[in-house]
Amino acid sequence: MEILDKVKEVLPKGVVDRIDLEGCEIVVYTKDKVFFQESGEQIKEAVSELKKRIEVRPDSSLSMDTEDAKKKIKELIPEDAGIKEIRFEPERSIVIIKAEKPGLVIGRGGESFRRIKEETSWVPRIERIPEISSNIVKSIRDLLHTETVWRKKFLREVGTKIFTERQTNRDWVRLTFLGGYREVGRSCTIVETPKSKILMDCGLGVGDSDSTKFPYLQTKEFDPAEIDAIVVSHAHTDHMGMVPYLYEYGYEGPFYCTSPTIDLFTMLSMDFIDVMQKNGQQPPFTAKGVKEAVKHSITLDYGEVSDVGPDVRLTFQTAGHLLGSAQVHLHVGQGLHNIVYTGDLKYDRTQLLDPAFTGFQRVETLIMESTYGGQDDVMPHRKESEDALMAAVKKTIERKGKCLIPSFSVGRAQEIMCILNENKFESPVYIDGMIWDATAIHTAYPEYLSSNVERSIYQGDNPFMNPIFKKLTVQAEREKAWDGEPAVIISTSGMLTGGPVMEHVKALGGDPKNGLLFVGYQAEGTMGRKIQRGLKEIPVSNNGRSSVLNLEMEINTIQGLSGHSDRNQLLNYLSRLKSKPERVLVCHGEATKTVQLAKTIHKIFKIEATSPKTLETVRLR
């Protein structure tokens, strides 16, 4: 390929032994030890000139014997770093160092990292060991390690497709909406450019309707063989729930997301299979599809530019919605067009996350969510919402009751935990469902959390390790919590569509001293939405027999704790964008809200703003 010849041309003669591709990254292997250790400035110049990602690694003949290298690494790194495992990937000349405190492995100013590289001639990769043990994190890292040889071949194939010139009959950029437009759920959009075809998100519907459960993958625009890449904004099922299905349906290409997203994706996908099977339903995919998705995943950090097609570059930026959530920036061609897809957006500082990024240099088309984009969707100030939460919780505790908080396992639960910790809450807080596993994943990625939480974790004051938080795992523990002292119970599912929360409702719902506290969006058709509207007779199942529960517990909804922006925050986000878009396409909201927000955007900002429907296609240029 032409690009590989260009790399050889810009580097000193005689230092390149061979060049390989790992996705969009060009890896230069060298037998020149001096070049390996001192090539930093030359590589920076090459990257600047070619606009490609280039890394230098040593040929295996340069690398120290693995046992000697392991001893040397342990000599160089202080014992306080808490090294748990050192693994070698000889095929890539990489050593993976797993530690409780990665900062000590890297060292002040990167000194320890550099010494490992110089003295062992291995390229270090540092992984954090979560403070709370996570089988999900471990299993994913183990899988990717055991599949090193397969992954190397796969990444080479991806890179070859990216850097091979292709001819098509397309000279336009267009979007086709397969789900998530004038509705909440099954988000899915095809981006077609002159030389590439990208799928942004592929989720499942929310609520009870089978007719809106899946994206329209049967359309002629969708052919898995033509898709160059799947890009997933974040790990909520309505945005990624159908990705495993695609790998069972015939897709064999890469799946791009952030590192936390792949962990959360795996956890939620496996739970989805389990829940459906327990309910006597056939899930649309199996564990095989989940495993294939993980094997094909390519993770990117915020701000990291990556070629994902012959004429498309992808950059993730913070979205403020949940751990690892990202806005998707697609740069098409050499400045031909720039698309930003917000995914789910929070333009406000929360306890858990910093606000969404607005510093895009160029945006021609903005695809923007509108979950709370209606005329009346104005939330209280964040501090007011947190105070209201604490007041409702304390009121229940004071009357010797249990405060049940249905919550999404990812994001909202950890936000509530941070609020309780920040307010020095002292009563027991029981964590049920997948929330504990999701929290463990949060402890693996402090750099993706708010600056305040990140700093606290690095200083040894992890809010998730507060002893008030107690894990529930079996029915006997739940019964003990119901009968015990006043407490908070945070449990899935967040919309009361199933899961252990229904066991808590059955046990606690008939007692007026207990409280049910909604802290998140309740989709149309869900039990949560029905209760919010005043439903008092709840259908429940006891040992296979159906009955009705008269709901006597106090019902409250706390506004303003959502991981989505309200109407004012959405408009504020638009006003703060560094680059003013030419066009705004409003998605991910009930039909009336998407239309209302589009009209308001057009009126205020004097730019084209529309609310397209699912199954429509829009040409951008």
End-to-end Cα spacing for the chain: 30
Residue-level pLDDT at 209: 61
Asked whether 354 and 454 are in contact (CB, 8 A), the reply is no
Total length of the chain: 621
Domains and CATH numbers, the chain: 66-129 (3.30.300.20), 173-375+564-619 (3.60.15.10), 382-557 (3.40.50.10890)
Residue-level pLDDT at 499: 84
Residue-level pLDDT at 521: 80
Residue-level pLDDT at 571: 98
* For residue 409, cis peptide bond before it (omega within 30 degrees of 0): no
Average pLDDT, the chain: 93
pLDDT digits (tens, 9 = 90+) for 261-291: 999 999 999 988 988 888 788 999 999 999 9
DSSP SS3 for 130 = coil
Cα–Cα dist 583/595, whole Å: 15
Residue-level pLDDT at 545: 79
What helix, strand, coil percent values describe the chain, rounded to 5? Answer: 40, 25, 40
Q: What distances in angstroms separate CA 498 from CA 207, 237, 467, 492, 517, one per listed residue?
A: 11, 15, 28, 8, 16
Residue-level pLDDT at 525: 83
- What are the residue ranges in the chain where pLDDT is below 50? none
Cα–Cα dist 22/300, whole Å: 13
Residue-level pLDDT at 295: 97
Name the residue among 255, 240, 245 with its Cα closest to residue 286. Answer: 245
CB neighbours of 361 closer than 8 A, spacing ≥ 6?
Answer: 578, 579
263 membership: H or E segment, kind and range: helix 259-278
pLDDT digits (tens, 9 = 90+) for 516-571: 999 988 878 889 999 999 999 988 877 777 888 899 999 999 988 989 999 999 99
And the tokens for 453? 């939480």
pLDDT digits (tens, 9 = 90+) for 202-241: 999 976 566 679 999 999 889 999 999 999 999 999 999 9
Residue-level pLDDT at 459: 86
Specify the amino acid at residue 474: V
Q: What is the DSSP letter of 381?
A: P
